[in-house]
Chains A and B, each alone.
Chain A
C-alpha cells in the first residue's frame, strides 16, 4: 500500500531523514518509536504533504502513485489521513461544516454526488459515538475551547468520517489521560479492517497496549534502525533508548 524507499529530507541545511525505508501493507498497523528529534513527526508531515521540508532523495509510493508529486489536499483525497499532534482551531467553522466540506471534496474526487443532509447527519451520529464525542461538539467551532483530549477525539472522529485507506497518528496519545487514551484507542480499533493501514507514532508503549501493532519500528537519527513485533515496544519501555544508540554505534 505505502512504500517508502530511501527517503532523504531536510529543512534548510539540516538533514532530518537520512535514508528511511518502510513498507506497509493493507490490514497492518505499524508503530514507530524513538527518542525526541529523530524525525518521527517529520516523517508524518512529509507523508501528509507539508511543504516545509525538502525531499532530496527517495520516493513514497501510495498504491503505486508517487505521492511526492501531489499536493497535500490531493493526497488527502486519495485516502491519506494525518491525525495531528497539535490540531488547530478554526474560529467560526463548526466541525459539522468542516466535515461536510471535507467529505464532499473526497466524494467529488471519487466521482460521487455530494452526500445528502440526511445521510450526513446519520453518518456523523454513528461515527461520533465511536469516540464518545458529545453531539454538542459538532456544532461548535472546530477545536475552539476543546480540551487536549477532546481535540484528539475529534481527530479520530474525523478519521472515522473520512474512512481513509492509510492513517498516520502523530503522537495521538500525548496529553491524554488514561480514560481518553482508552476511548481513542478503542475508536481506532473499531476502524481497523483488512483494507486499511495505520502508522502510529508514539513515545510510549502504553498506547500499544490498546492499539496492538503488527510491527514496531525504532527510529533513530533519521532512519529505522530496528524492527520487531509488539514485544520490541515492551523492551524499549523497559530499557529506554540508550541500548539502541549503543547498538547502532552512536
Chain B
C-alpha cells in the first residue's frame, strides 16, 4: 500500500511537469498492437485489475471488427501494427528556441495573438515553467474543489474515483459501438474527467487548456463528463493554434451524461494539422462523441468549429432519454486545399417532449470535400418530439464539393421534424459590393464567411468565439482565386 502511495504521489506531483522534466515513464513500447500492448499501457498507468479487464474486453471485440468504409472520405487503410500505442513524452523538446521553429507556423501563432510562452509549448520548444501559470492553476483547482467539482485526468480518476468511472465509462459509448471506439477503449492514453455534484453550477468554463499534461494526451483521448441533478458545466476542448503533432491517427471518445435538470455545454475548436497544400500529411481525426440526456429536463449542447485535420470524421450526438430533454448541435466545418470532412450529428429521441436543434455550416474551398451527415431518430415512445435542422453549405471556388446526407427515422406520428438545407456560393454581386466599399477580396470573404457562421459562433463563450473568427480567416487564406 505504501508503495502504491509513493507511486501515486510521484504521478500526481509529476503530472504538472509531464513531458518536460519528469523521469516517469520514459519508455516507449514497440510499434504494434497485441494483448501485451494493452497490458503494458494499463500497467504503466497503475490501473486496477478491473480497468485492465475492461480494456482487454474492448481489444478482443476490436479484433473481430472491420475498418468502416461507408463515410464519404478517402484514405488508405490504416496499418494498426505501425502505430506506437504508448509513447512517453519526449525527454527533450525538439527545439531549443523559437528561432528553430518553422516561421510559417510562428506567423500563424502571431496572427492568433498568442503569447510567446504559449507559442513555445505548442511548437515543442523548451520552456521554463512560469510561476504565474502555476499559481493560476492552483487557485483554479481550489475553487473547484470547494464546490465538490472533480476535474482531473481520466487516469487520475480511475485511481481516485473508481466507483464513478466504473459506473459511467462506456455507458454512453460502449467499446463495441464502433471500430474506433473499441480501439480507443483498449488503448486510450489519457483524457479528462469531470464530475459536477448535485445542484452545482460550475463557476468557470472548464478547459483542458489549463491542464498542462493535455499537451501529450493526443492520440487516443478519453473524456467523461458527468453532470448530476440540477448541475451545469461548460467545457471547452481544443485549441485554436495548430499544434505540431507526430501522430497521424486521432481516435478520441467523449462521453457526457446529464441527470435531471442538468446541462452540459461542450465546445470544441479543432485545428489539427491539415496537411500541406498538396494534401500530404495531416491528421486523421476519427472521434466518437456522444451525450446521454438521462434525466428529465436535461440538456446537452455541442458546439464545434472544425478547421483542421486532413480528415475529420465525427458526429457529436445526443440521446434524449429523459422526458423534456434537449439536444443541440451547432457546427462550423471548414475545409480547404485537400481536406476532407464527414461530420454531423445524431439526435435520438426516446423520451416524451424531447427537442433537438441542428445548425450546421459547411464551408469548402480549394479542392476539399465537405459532407454533412445527420440522423434524426424518433422512437415510438417519444411523444411530441421536435427537431429542427438547418444545414447550409458554402462553396468557395469551383473545385470543392459539398454534400448533405440527412437521415430521418420517425416512429411516432406526433413528431414534428423540420429540415432546411441550402447550398450557396459567394456571388459576384456580393463580392463586388464589398470590393466597392474598399475591402479586398480576401477581407470580403472573411467577413462574409464570419457572418455566415455567426449563428454558431454566438454559441461559443466570448473569448473562444473571437479566436474562432480569427482562425477561420487564417484557414481560408488563399481559398479565393
Q: A92-B453, A105-B439, A162-B437 are in contact. Are A72 and B432 (CB under 8 A)?
A: yes
Q: A109: nearest residue on chain B (CB-CB)?
A: B438
Q: Which residues of A contact B (CB under 8 A)?
A: 48-50, 52, 71-73, 76-77, 81-82, 84, 86-88, 90-93, 97-98, 101-102, 105-106, 109, 141, 158, 162
Residue B435 at the chain A interface, CB threshold 8 Å: yes
Contact of A141 among B429, B437, B440, B451 (CB under 8 A): B451
Task: Evaluate contact between A97 and B435: CB separation under 8 angstroms.
Answer: no
Min distance, Cβ B345 to any Cβ of chain A, angstroms: 21
What B residues does A52 contact at CB under 8 A? 428
In the assembly, what is the distance between CA of A141 and CA of B458, in Å?
A: 14
In the assembly, what is the distance between CA of A90 and CA of B427, in Å?
A: 11
Task: Evaluate contact between B454 and A158: CB separation under 8 angstroms.
Answer: no
In the assembly, what is the distance between CA of A49 and CA of B436, in Å?
A: 8
Q: A91-B451, A92-B452, A92-B454 are in contact. Are A84 and B433 (CB under 8 A)?
A: yes
What A residues does B47 contact at CB under 8 A? none
Task: Evaluate contact between B433 and A88: CB separation under 8 angstroms.
Answer: yes
Q: A158: nearest residue on chain B (CB-CB)?
A: B437
What B residues does A49 contact at CB under 8 A? 435-436
What B residues does A92 contact at CB under 8 A? 450-455
Min distance, Cβ B476 to any Cβ of chain A, angstroms: 15
Min distance, Cβ A165 to any Cβ of chain B, angstroms: 13
Task: Evaluate contact between B435 and A72: CB separation under 8 angstroms.
Answer: yes
In the assembly, what is the distance between CA of A134 and CA of B427, in Å?
A: 29
Min distance, Cβ B472 to any Cβ of chain A, angstroms: 12
In the assembly, what is the distance between CA of A162 and CA of B264, in Å?
A: 45
In the assembly, what is the distance between CA of A48 and CA of B432, in Å?
A: 9
Residue B237 at the chain A interface, CB threshold 8 Å: no
Task: Evaluate contact between A76 and B436: CB separation under 8 angstroms.
Answer: yes
Task: Evaluate contact between B438 and A77: CB separation under 8 angstroms.
Answer: yes
Task: Evaluate contact between B430 and A90: CB separation under 8 angstroms.
Answer: yes
Task: Evaluate contact between B436 and A91: CB separation under 8 angstroms.
Answer: no
What A residues does B455 contact at CB under 8 A? 92
Residue B416 at the chain A interface, CB threshold 8 Å: no
Residue B447 at the chain A interface, CB threshold 8 Å: yes
Task: Evaluate contact between B436 and A90: CB separation under 8 angstroms.
Answer: no
Min distance, Cβ A97 to any Cβ of chain B, angstroms: 7
Can you report 30 residue pairs joining A to B where beta carbons are below 8 Å apart? Answer: A48-B436, A49-B436, A71-B435, A72-B432, A72-B436, A73-B434, A73-B435, A76-B435, A76-B437, A84-B433, A84-B436, A86-B429, A87-B433, A88-B430, A90-B433, A90-B434, A90-B451, A91-B452, A92-B453, A92-B455, A93-B451, A97-B447, A98-B437, A101-B437, A102-B438, A102-B439, A105-B440, A106-B438, A141-B451, A162-B438
Q: B440: nearest residue on chain A (CB-CB)?
A: A73
Contact of B439 among A84, A86, A101 (CB under 8 A): A101
What A residues does B245 contact at CB under 8 A? none
What B residues does A93 contact at CB under 8 A? 447-448, 450-451
Residue B443 at the chain A interface, CB threshold 8 Å: yes
Min distance, Cβ A62 to any Cβ of chain B, angstroms: 14
Residue B139 at the chain A interface, CB threshold 8 Å: no
Residue B441 at the chain A interface, CB threshold 8 Å: yes
